[in-house]
């Protein structure tokens, strides 16, 4: 890969800035007059960051000549992560100044017309959902050959980050997280929307403890291959697929509400134990061994959710909620 060389002049930097559309032509013209052609481009960029006219990430991109920092109506403010499905950015609506999460889908998926059609259909279905435990889908669109999904931006930590930083949660917190996720799934399933790729990195918890499910509307992409989460390696993605994807999904690419129930069981086990189940949970005692603090009722529910036989799992998200409520009433 050719080495990317930083821009050598203020003129080249301002040319890139003008092409980006981040500032108006009038603002760029004023900068040309004030800074001249021979200024150090890094100093110009630094001052624009200080004045809150550019983010540090935008300035860094422009200093290296990357100017495609607008997607549709949205300014790209920062890169939040990258994964198998594509790149995720912090975006901002150019007129409304509303922060969003903007996922540009990988061309390896969008190049397939059949998959692309289904993804766009699912994304539009997801945009009709409105629930406090679902990250709202604002837009599914394309620009040139780039297809993107615009969703609510939620500030907080995802469950993977939480467990990696602090270890396994308490049984009470695990039940609360999974219950909220099940409530969101109940609403989505009721409208015919299946997630298909639930895992700890897709559950984000905000400062007030509200859980939101991310990446709704992308289930069709999971029919082709296990997906790498933001910041995950391919090895970790393979483990995640084994742990959080139901057997029928992995072997037959079947996506149904029951695969989400299985995934939620894996998330419950992960939250309780801090470990990936890796197909090792066959009975309630396996859950108890990994998390002795879990009640017998909670361990039994978790094992049922992780059953390789879909008929043994709770048959709906409501069934998971009822099971969690029963477990919360049981004595430890």
8-52: pLDDT as tens digits: 889 999 999 999 999 999 999 999 888 776 678 999 999 999 999
Which SS3 state, helix, strand or coil, does residue 159 take?
helix
Choice among 197, 215, 260, 286 that is catalytic: 197
From residue 268, alpha-carbon distances to 44, 109, 173, 204, 288 in Å are 50, 30, 10, 14, 13
- Half-sphere exposure of 314 toward its Cβ, with a 13 Å CA cutoff? 22
pLDDT of residue 2: 47
According to the model, what pLDDT value does residue 139 have? 87
Query: What sign does the CA torsion over 181, 183, 189, 191 have?
Result: negative
Pair of tokens at residue 122: 């699912």
pLDDT at 331: 63
The answer to whether residues 255 and 249 touch, using CB atoms and an 8 Å cutoff, is: yes
Q: What's residue 4's pLDDT?
A: 63
| pLDDT tens-digit series, residues 172-196 | 999 999 999 999 999 999 999 999 8
Q: At what angle do helices 257-273 and 296-305 cross, to 10 degrees?
A: 140
pLDDT less than 50: residues of the chain: 1-2, 225-229, 231, 233-235
Clarify whether 325 is annotated catalytic.
Answer: no
Domain regions of the chain by residue span:
10-65, 74-152, 157-329
pLDDT confidence of residue 1: 41
Q: Quick one: pLDDT at residue 332?
A: 56
Are 88 and 103 within 8 A, CB to CB?
A: yes
Instruction: Return the number of other C-beta atoms located less than 10 Å from residue 235's C-beta.
Output: 9
The CATH fold assigned to 74-152 is: Phosphorylase Kinase; domain 1 (3.30.200)
For residue 130, the model assigns a pLDDT of 93
Q: Which class does domain 157-329 fall in?
A: mainly alpha
The residues near 35 (Cβ < 8 Å, ≥ 6 apart) are 10, 14, 44
Contact 160, 200 (CB under 8 A): yes
Q: What totals of helices (H) and strands (E) does the chain contain, helices first?
A: 14, 9
Tell me whether domains 74-152 and 157-329 share a fold.
no
């Amino acid at each position: 890969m050719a080495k990317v060389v930083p821009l050598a002049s203020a003129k080249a930097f301002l040319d890139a800035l003008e092409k980006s559309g981040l500032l108006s032509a009038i603002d760029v013209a004023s900068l040309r007059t004030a800074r001249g052609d021979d200024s150090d481009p890094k100093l110009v960029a630094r001052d624009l960051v200080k004045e809150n006219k550019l983010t540090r990430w935008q300035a860094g991109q422009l200093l290296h000549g990357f100017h495609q920092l607008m997607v549709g109506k949205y300014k790209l403010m920062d890169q939040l992560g990258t994964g198998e499905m594509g790149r995720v950015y912090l975006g901002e609506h150019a007129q409304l100044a509303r922060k969003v999460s903007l996922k540009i889908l990988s061309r390896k998926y969008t190049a397939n017309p059949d998959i692309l059609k289904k993804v766009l259909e699912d994304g539009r279905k997801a945009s009709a959902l409105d629930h406090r435990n679902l990250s709202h889908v604002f837009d599914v669109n394309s620009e040139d050959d780039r297809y993107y999904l615009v969703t609510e931006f939620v500030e907080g930590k995802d469950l993977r980050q939480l467990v990696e930083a602090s270890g396994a949660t308490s049984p009470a917190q695990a039940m609360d997280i999974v219950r909220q996720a099940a409530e969101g799934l109940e609403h989505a399933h009721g409208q015919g929307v299946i997630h298909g790729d639930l895992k700890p990195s897709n559950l984000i918890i905000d400062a007030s403890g509200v859980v939101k499910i991310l990446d709704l509307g992308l289930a069709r992409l999971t029919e082709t291959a296990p997906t790498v989460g933001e910041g995950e390696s391919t090895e970790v993605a393979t483990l995640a697929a084994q742990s959080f994807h139901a057997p029928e999904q992995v072997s037959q690419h079947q996506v149904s509400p029951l695969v989400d129930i299985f995934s939620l069981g894996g998330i419950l086990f992960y939250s309780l134990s801090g470990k990936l189940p890796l197909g090792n949970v066959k009975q309630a005692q396996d859950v108890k061994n990994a998390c002795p603090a879990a009640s017998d009722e909670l361990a039994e529910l978790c094992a049922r959710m992780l059953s390789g036989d879909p008929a043994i799992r709770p048959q709906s998200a409501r069934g998971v909620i009822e099971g969690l409520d029963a477990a919360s009433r049981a004595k430890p």
